[in-house]
Structure 1
Amino acid sequence: MSKLTPKFVKDVDQPGSYQDGRGLILRVSATLRKSWVFRYMLAKQRHDLALGTFPALSLRDARLEADKYRLDIARGVDPAAERAKAKAAKASRATTSHTFRASAERYIRTHSSSWSKKHHQQWQNSLTKHVYPVIGGFRIAEVDTDDILDVLTPIWSKIPVTANRIRNRIELVLDAAKALKLRQGENPARWRGHLDKLLPKQSHTVVPFPSPTPSRTAELLARLDSLDGAAARAVEFAILTATRNQEVSGAQWAEIDWEEKIWLIPAGRMKAGKAHRVPLTDQMIEVLRQQVGKHAKWIFLNSWRTGPIPGNAMARVLDQLKVDGVVPHGFRSTFRTWAAEETDHQREVCEMALAHTLNSKVEAAYNRGDLLDKRRALMEDWGRFLAANAPQVRGKVSEVSEMPPNPGSDPAKVQPAA
């Protein structure tokens, strides 16, 4: 007959061993920690098998565990030997698979579904180039501060931005490994109160992208008319929309809503991983109409007609026009400067036009829309400014009286207006 009751197990506050019967024992330590032990005899030897602690393991569950082991013993199986064998197998696996590289790859597989393609590639590239050659083969449990310094010291001052990102990525991998009980103790890659005392202070000089003045941008937009080709049209579209190089070069017809006059860039192609709507003005649509019918999928087709223009195609256009000190991304800075200095449009409207995340979390929480109508007015003002400040008359932008059908469905049948 059982001697213990749930109430007794809960209330007992005297150190000692308390028998429940048939080998099940409740042990209470000097610190009043309560643990369950199953005692049994096998081959004339006594064994004490730890089952767990109370209250995580209740009296009822402890009895069930003991019953399970009694069945094993009746079959001639030694529970203690089986447990030791399992631990040995786990330790053996740890020496071969629980390396830093294996843990990092597991972390990437777990989280990459929520990352952009670019962010995923950056993780892979930075770890492969700077981390795996140094500590990739180390057991995750043994990576220490000296190992982290071996990774970071050669690149800390040379490529500070990348070095900081690598430190953070190592810290995340080690935190995940600790959560999986693959390592213990403090994280040797943590910054505050640890590596900040061991690494020199970095120079955080911000070098902005070279960008032209708004009036020079208007001149450049006019000069682009003299060039043929998809890359030149892509530069025009980038200037008018104030979007990023890769967003323009990879633009697809399926993203264009002719009826609503919207370019919907999917989350997978955005830097922040969030879909972005761009209001299309008549000037932007004029550029698109020049590309209609050239390919079923890509708006700005490469010269081999195999896919979109490459990432450096727009920069080559600027080189062809002998535009010094300007890169395609710089047009975004030009637009933002013009919007701040020459217009009365609200700051959040200008930031959303650039697909920037609002700095204030409170502001972002309350402002969940994308201010499309206000951004449309802003982009129309930008287009009018560029047209008005062009050094030569480019001709009036024709009104689009009838939108062409969506070329994503059958572009071969859609021809640009004469």
Structure 2
Amino acid sequence: MTFQEAAEKCIESKKHEWKNAKHAQQWSNTLGTYAYPIFGDIAVSDVDTDLVLKAIEPIWISKAETASRVRQRIETVLDWARARGYVEGENPARLRGHLDNILAKTAKVKRVKHHPAVPYKQISEFMEQLRERTGSSALALEFMILTAARTGEVRGAKWKEVDLTTNVWTVPAERMKAGREHRIPLSKRAVAILMSIQSNRNPEEFVFPGWKAGTGLSDGALLALMKKIAFGPYTPHGFRSTFRDWAAEEAYEFSNETVELALAHTIKNKAEAAYRRGDQLERRRELMAAWANYIDQQVEQQEQRK
């Protein structure tokens, strides 16, 4: 039995004790994001400390709360597998007397303020300040957040890539990190941003122009804007992580595959890549609409609390 198979059976057996049905999907999403790519197809009996660390150590500091949940869920799955006779010996994901001797203390990690990504539950506070700004950089940054795209993809966007009839932005292969064309469905708010831009929409014109005629925004334009907003020590690229964390914890109706497609991530598992068909454009359209709606609802609630 592989770890993923054990996890799926564990989740199925435990979901009846959870009051909220979305907990099961949260488990699947977080394990699908951080554990399965590392050891999902490995026999559950072969999961050791090194593999557990490989899954959680990269996010132990930057995403302390998420990392803690992932570790706990891995530990629970391995405990389930041991109780069923699939695993013997000590649990390699246990914290006390084991991983706590390797990793930084959780309580101290949670006090670290220098996270690269804005926590998704604070997105309303940031977005409220961002929407008070005007200019190409502010529009580009919000558009980037709504599309979960990379900074360079947004800065280099040209009107010829945007279809306002189907509301799809197609980034050509040569501008994508993975070297493959990427279609991005645009939410109503993302379309509204494009419609608000004063432009003749010449196909070769940059959507978000820079200071000089015929140029796009500079490399540091979005980072400079974030520094002016002074919300925290975050980076524009970090919003992809913000989106990913939101999807794992809140967008439980969407599969991990759909979210990975939205982020244009390369599939490392060759078997999975071989069986993937299509880019789930319409399903991703629903996902990006849900993301935009979440942001708007959080902003509205933030305003009501004032």
Aligned position for 1:402: none
The answer to whether residue 178 in structure 2 is matched with residue 272 in structure 1 is yes
The percentage of counterpart residues that share the same residue type is 38
Unaligned ranges ≥5, structure 2: 1-113
- In 1, the alpha carbon distance for the partners of 2:196 and 2:115 equals 29
| 3-state SS, counterpart of residue 170 of structure 2 | strand
1:218 paired residue among 120, 124, 135: 124
Residue in structure 2 matching 1:364, options 273, 282, 288: 273
Contact map agreement 1:292 1:299 (CA 8 A) in 2: no
Aligned to 1:385: 294
CA distance in 2, matches of 1:240, 1:266: 19
Q: Give the counterpart letter for 2:244 in structure 1.
A: R
Question: CA separation in 1, counterparts of 2:284 and 2:115?
Answer: 24
CA separation of 1:321 and 1:384: change in aligned 2, threshold 3 A:
same
Matches within 5 A, 1:302-341: 302-341=210-249
Q: For 1:295 and 1:282, locate their aligned partners in 2 and report how far apart those are by CA, in whole Å.
A: 19
Q: Using the TM superposition, give the Cα deviation of residue 363 of structure 1 relative to its aligned residue in structure 2, in angstroms.
A: 1.3
Q: Which structure is larger by alpha-carbon Rg, 1 or 2?
A: 1
User: Could you say what the CA RMSD is over the residues aligned between the two structures, in angstroms?
Assistant: 1.6
Corresponding residue of 1:342:
250
Going from structure 1 to structure 2, the CA distance change for 1:225 and 1:294 (only over 3 Å counts) comes to: farther
Q: Relative to total residues, which structure has the larger strand share, 1 or 2?
A: 1
1:353 alignment partner in structure 2: 262
- Whole-Å separation in 1 of the counterparts to 2:188 and 2:229: 25
Matched, 1:285 2:191: yes
Is the Cα–Cα contact under 8 Å of residues 158 and 206 in structure 2 kept in the other structure? yes
Q: What SS does structure 2 have at the residue aligned with 1:226?
A: coil
- How far apart are residue 292 of structure 1 and its match? 4.0
Q: How many angstroms does 1:324 deviate by?
A: 1.8
User: Higher relative contact order by CA 8 Å / sep ≥ 6: 1 or 2?
Assistant: 2
Distance 1:222 1:292 in 2: 23
Distance 1:263 1:295, change over 3 A: closer
Task: Give the number of aligned pairs.
Answer: 186
How do 1:18-417 and structure 2 match up within 5 A? 210-293=116-199, 296=202, 297-344=205-252, 345-390=254-299, 391-392=302-303
Task: Say whether the 8 Å CA contact 1:348–1:358 is kept in structure 2.
Answer: no
The whole-number CA distance in structure 2 between the counterparts of 1:325 and 1:209 is 7
Deviation at 1:294, TM superposition (A): 6.1
Q: Kindly provide the CA deviation profile for residues 182-231 of structure 1, in whole angstroms up to 9, marking residues without a partner as x.
A: xxxxxxxxxxxxxxxxxxxxxxxxxx970011122222122212111101
Whether the 8 Å CA contact 1:209–1:329 is kept in 2: the answer is no
Runs ≥4 in structure 1, deviation > 3 angstroms?
none
Task: Name the SS for the 1:389 alignment partner.
Answer: helix
Q: AA paired with 2:144? A: A
SS of 2:131's equivalent in the other structure is helix
Deviations 1:20-67 (A, max 9, x none): xxxxxxxxxxxxxxxxxxxxxxxxxxxxxxxxxxxxxxxxxxxxxxxx
